[in-house]
A and B are shown apart, each in its own frame.
Chain A
Amino acid sequence: MCGHSDSADKITRRIMEELYPTIKEQFSLAETDIDDVHCYVALTTLKTEFFLLSTYETRLVFPSILKVFNTKHLTELPELPNVAELHQLTRHKEQRLLQLVQAFLREYEKAEVPNPAADKLIRLFYEDFTNIKNEWNNMVSIWSKGCACFQRSNLLILNKKEDGKD
């Protein structure tokens, strides 16, 4: 088992078991107090995007990364996750999500109706979500450069592609 496995396990647990459930709860609190239609549409669009990111990470991205760390012989895996590609796709979704937070904030400010739950939701995204994601992305970046498991995984994918060409 790779030495990075423990830190990866800890941070993914913080995201999946602490941050995401808090954000999900905040969504349901915020949407009950919104009357403005534009604000509501912006919130539901943001909610959909957030739930999709959470689904991809919980079911595909995090298990795949942990699998790369925890498997002794990657060649034995029935399928080999492409960590670099998964990370790129996730970053794209995170960026889109933050754009939607901004769009929601604009509509919310235009509506001029105070909603403490919406305030907290926006704070959760701009502070907790952004901070933990920065932490996670830095870790992935370090693993990509210095972790043998990641490099082996990428190498195997490259080799597989080369074999396919022959």
Chain B
Amino acid sequence: MGTHHKMPNHIDCAFCASRTDSVFDVLDKEQQTELHAHKSCIHYKKGQYIFTENGFPQGLYCINSGKIKLSAQGLDGKEQILRLAKNGDAVGYRSLLANERYHCSAVALEDSNICFIPKEYFMGMVNNNHRLCFEIMRKMSFDLKTAEKHIMTLSQKNVRERMAEALLFFKATYGFEEDEQTLAVTLSREEIADYVGTSTESAIRLLSEFNHDKLIELSGKKIKLLNLPELLSTANLDS
């Protein structure tokens, strides 16, 4: 982890411009003053790590200003960006509450001011303040919805990839008609779905999407491949 610097001004929670966007907005004046006394404010330079994958959480980070990238190492060793956090967002709360090591790293995407709340004090606040506890639950539910949407997008991307791949297999097996674009085979939507490993409804929707994106042109059961380079790219075969 890189060296960090104390913020020039120790931001008072009562006057924090990002508080209204944070889970701590539910605290009253007295609680804000108490929080202010326990936290420390740190300035991170662009590219500096706030915490790293597999580290053990010592507290919660709340962004006063700046932008943070949360990412983990993917199975292929490549960086997988999980989400971005901005002013008012709390980061590292999941590992902290689950008492687990961080499953991702947090890096400042720009110069950022971040407040650090020690673990013991934060856990005490969660235990004693049901409004704060509810806000954190709300935040977790929102993040869960975002993660589920992300999974859906990824699996959808995978089916698009497989549809493009199927069309390329059909081209290699059956070739084109005289126009050098129309597949020289007629397959039912059900048969295509079988090759793609999806439902007939999804196959119909995907073919329409491809038609709309001008990758193919549908004419009854005939399929014209309009943009081969793009199909190769969609199938992840262009490299």
Q: Report which A residues bind B (CB closer than 8 A).
A: 48, 51-52, 55-56, 59-61, 64, 78-82, 85-86, 89, 92-93, 99, 102-103, 106, 157, 160-161, 164
Contact = CB atoms under 8 A, between A and B. Distances in A.
A45 to B, nearest CB: 8
Interface residues of B, number: 21
Nearest to B174: A79
B75 A102 contact: yes
B119 interface: no
Contacts, number: 56
14 contacts: A48-B197, A51-B197, A59-B195, A79-B173, A81-B173, A81-B175, A82-B171, A85-B168, A85-B172, A102-B75, A106-B75, A157-B175, A164-B178, A164-B180
B172 A82 contact: yes
A60 B165 CA distance: 13
Contact of A56 (B169, B174, B184): B169
Nearest to B179: A164
B162 interface: yes
Interface of B is mostly: helix
A60 B162 CA distance: 16
Contacts of B75: 99, 102-103, 106
Interface of A is mostly: helix
Contacts of B237: 89, 92
Interface in B148-193: 162, 165, 168-175, 178, 180, 184-185
B162 A64 contact: no
Given A79-B185, A89-B168, A56 B175 contact: no
Nearest to A104: B75
Contact of A86 (B172, B184, B185, B194): B172
Contacts of A102: 75
B197 A81 contact: no
